[in-house]
Chain A
Amino acid sequence: MALRPDPTFHASPKLAMQAPPETYAYTLLLSPDQSKPDALAVVDVKPGSATYSQVVHTVVMPYKGDEFHHFGWNACSSSLSPLTGHAFLERRFLIIPGIRSSRIYVIDTKPHPTQAKIHKIIEPDELFRKTGYSRPHTVHCGPGGIYVSALGGGGRDGTDGPPGIFIMDCETFEILGRWEIDRGAQTKHYDFWWNLPRNYMVTSEWGLPPQYENGIVPEELLANKYGHHIHFWDLSARRNVQTIDLGANHQMGLEVRPAHDPIREYGFLGVVVDTNNLEGSIWTWWREGGRFHIEKTATIPAEPAPKDQLPPLLQGFGAVPPLVTDIDLSLDDKYLYVACWGTGELRQYDVTEPRKPKLAGSVHIGGIVRRTPHPSGRTFAGGPQMLEVSRDGKRVYWTNSLYSSWDDQFYPGGMPGAQVMAISKPGGGLELAKDYWVSAPDGYRAHQIRLEGGDCSTDSFCYPSV
């Protein structure tokens, strides 16, 4: 039992930025053909270490076919919430959902990251029985325990009832039940995050399981049948208070990134593709006068390309869509990083003025047509996908895989798992670190990254940075 709060819990984003830098990263590995069990890789990210940028430990799961995607900590800075007063949890367990199997693993990272091991396995049946949800995805540590979004409802194909969020106990990891009391117009799910002192949650939409599990369904996309709404909720009342339609052509608004400083009542949303012109876009949402608003604040155009260089899926369009599949915001709320998985670009926007993002930096790596190599000369298959920014904002890490069946459609040439890092230069600008390259073990792809002690998409802060 801890006598003092975990030293990795910080009252404000500013305090988190001043904390010591990360020395280990956790990266999810997935076996795209399900021939091997998925795994968690522990990567040494301490500069100067003999094993720098290498996988130093892996936790291999006992089952196959889980499809690891996103994951998160059992506890974070939200434990310092003045409301729920539970400061003595430990940031210790990683909660890893299998998005395909609906199985959930709890991994113990103590006593040392290189000794991480399985602590508990929650079988899919327990999730189905207690929540009626399936396909668990985004994990956030919050005031009532661990909140997990589920992308599917009940039944074999996950379409029996709407998907939603469920809560797990942050100590026993028992599934407690559904979070929503009134979901309003919400019928699809993807990501969620919140502003704890302001008491609201924001959720986004991808698509229902038949729309993604066996690959993207082009007819459904062109018919604008993927998600295109954003939902705003009263967090303590568990009620949907407002739903905004982005316009049906804005397909798949995925990652929700609220400003980290809780005094700021705005945030961002990345939209994967506009079916009118294939562009990707960044949207800014904000609360004013008790109502939520959202507008498109940046667009990234598609890049024309000859048909013979395109995968069959894109040949009819003669262009590569940027495919904005992930965005991440630095802890000082200054830079928004945008992954363009199709064109192979990582963009850095200065969002000091949240409704006027300014392009501040960019690096190219991979891409469907560009295929830009890493500065070390290695081939980076795929494009920048899952991002993670260090707490101090100086390093941006990313991997290359989106989702097994979609990877194969957009990058049919294959995609060995890789993780790279770019340095964020003072005053703006990005530069790929030549000496940082992590190869996933043979046959594995790499997805989300979590940094030891917290990162820019984990911790929720309850006090402003003054």
Chain B
Amino acid sequence: MTVPIETWTLGWLWLAVVGSGLYHGVNPGMGWPLAVSAGLMAKTSRALWLALWPLAIGHLLAMLVVILPFSILAAVVSWQQQIQIGAGLLVIGFGVFQLLGRRHPRVLTRIKPTQLGLWSFAVAIAHGAGLMLVPIYLGLCRPGELDRGHQAAGALISANLVMAVLVSLVHALAMILAGGGMAWLVYRYLGVAFVARSWFNLDVIWAASLMVVGAIALGFAVAGLH
């Protein structure tokens, strides 16, 4: 972690927000096969497009639920590093849990196939999709600009809230564009054989992604202490 903080630009952070959205979107575990199924079962592409809405909204809410508490915490400027270290550790810990505690998903079977929004929300929470975004979000909230350090806590909180909504929206938009694109390609051109063919085991990579994101955040936070 010898990269100077200055190079960790806003641009890269936003790219990470979009990139993680695309990554979540193409992952079959985040729901695009459900949109394919919806379209095929109803025999109309309209059902596919309609299914994308609850999937996107569920994912968006899962992001917000995880990020919003941090937007309030992040307003405590003097504890900035500690919060970032805590968040980094939390994300790494969740990655380790995902790696070691992999079991057949059972809770999801209690959700009806028609409750796509609830399903999308639950699956994103269960996989720590929102947590993956937290370090990136905290980076974007970094009161790097000196004057922000002197802002009133209230103003800082509202700025952080706006940022949280913005980050979640951009992420969810990227996610549903990627997932919707996959669903449409499979529905219209590739056929359901592609569901099995395209399904790579991302469990380990996903857990590793969490740990890498957490480690980077931790590295910057520790570097920032000095």
Asked if A199 meets B113 with Cβ closer than 8 Å, knowing A88-B203, A171-B104, the reply is yes
Residue of A82, A87, A143 most packed against chain B (CB within 10 A): A82
Q: Which of B29, B31, B33, B111 contacts A236 (CB 8 A)?
A: B111
Does the CB pair B196–A82 fall under 8 Å?
no
Q: Across the two chains, which residue of chain A brings its CB closest to B43? A: A263
How many whole Å from B113's CB to the nearest CB in chain A? 5
* Mask of B56-86 contacts with A, CB within 8 angstroms, 1/0: 0000000000000000000000000000000
Asked if A466 meets B201 with Cβ closer than 8 Å, knowing A85-B29, A171-B104, the reply is no
Asked if A84 meets B40 with Cβ closer than 8 Å, knowing A11-B193, A11-B195, A15-B192, the reply is no
CB neighbours (8 Å) of A464 from chain B are 40-41, 192
Does the CB pair B123–A85 fall under 8 Å?
yes
Does the CB pair A85–B105 fall under 8 Å?
yes
Main secondary structure, interface of B, reads helix
* Mask of A215-244 contacts with B, CB within 8 angstroms, 1/0: 000000000000000000000110000000
- Of A2-10, A36-44, A283-291, the one contacting chain B is A2-10
Q: How many residues of B contact A (CB 8 A)?
A: 33
Does the CB pair A88–B104 fall under 8 Å?
no
The reply to whether the CB of B12 lies closer than 8 angstroms to some CB of chain A is no
- Give Cα A169–Cα B102 distance, bound, in whole angstroms: 13
Does the CB pair B34–A144 fall under 8 Å?
no
CB neighbours (8 Å) of A463 from chain B are 36-37, 40, 192, 195
The reply to whether the CB of B112 lies closer than 8 angstroms to some CB of chain A is yes
Does the CB pair A5–B196 fall under 8 Å?
yes
Asked if A170 meets B37 with Cβ closer than 8 Å, knowing A5-B199, A466-B192, the reply is no
Does the CB pair B37–A82 fall under 8 Å?
yes
Does the CB pair B108–A80 fall under 8 Å?
no
Does the CB pair B196–A83 fall under 8 Å?
no
A residues 148-170 with Cβ under 8 Å of B? Answer: 169-170
- Give Cα A196–Cα B111 distance, bound, in whole angstroms: 12
How many whole Å from A21's CB to the nearest CB in chain B? 18
Does the CB pair A82–B36 fall under 8 Å?
yes
The reply to whether the CB of B46 lies closer than 8 angstroms to some CB of chain A is no
**Contact residue range for chain A?**
35 or more
* Mask of A74-87 contacts with B, CB within 8 angstroms, 1/0: 00000010111111
Q: Across the two chains, which residue of chain B brings its CB closest to A463? A: B192
CB neighbours (8 Å) of A3 from chain B are 200-201
- Give Cα A323–Cα B105 distance, bound, in whole angstroms: 41
Does the CB pair B34–A10 fall under 8 Å?
no
The reply to whether the CB of A145 lies closer than 8 angstroms to some CB of chain B is yes
* Mask of A155-192 contacts with B, CB within 8 angstroms, 1/0: 00000000000000111000010000000000000000
Asked if A4 meets B109 with Cβ closer than 8 Å, knowing A462-B37, A464-B41, the reply is no
Q: Which of A9, A82, A176 contacts B33 (CB 8 A)?
A: A82
- Give Cα A59–Cα B178 distance, bound, in whole angstroms: 49
- Give 4 A-B pairs besides A11-B192, A236-B111, A466-B40 with Cβ atoms closer than 8 angstroms: A10-B196, A80-B195, A143-B109, A176-B106
19 A-B pairs within 8 Å (CB atoms) are namely: A1-B201, A4-B199, A80-B33, A82-B28, A82-B37, A84-B109, A85-B28, A88-B203, A145-B104, A169-B104, A176-B106, A196-B113, A199-B112, A199-B113, A236-B109, A263-B43, A463-B192, A464-B41, A464-B192
Q: Which residues of B pack against A, CB within 8 Å? A: 28-29, 31, 33-34, 36-37, 40-41, 43, 103-106, 108-114, 119, 123, 191-193, 195-196, 199-201, 203-204
Q: Which residues of A pack against B, CB within 8 Å? A: 1-5, 9-12, 15, 80, 82-89, 143-145, 169-171, 176, 196-199, 236-237, 262-263, 462-464, 466
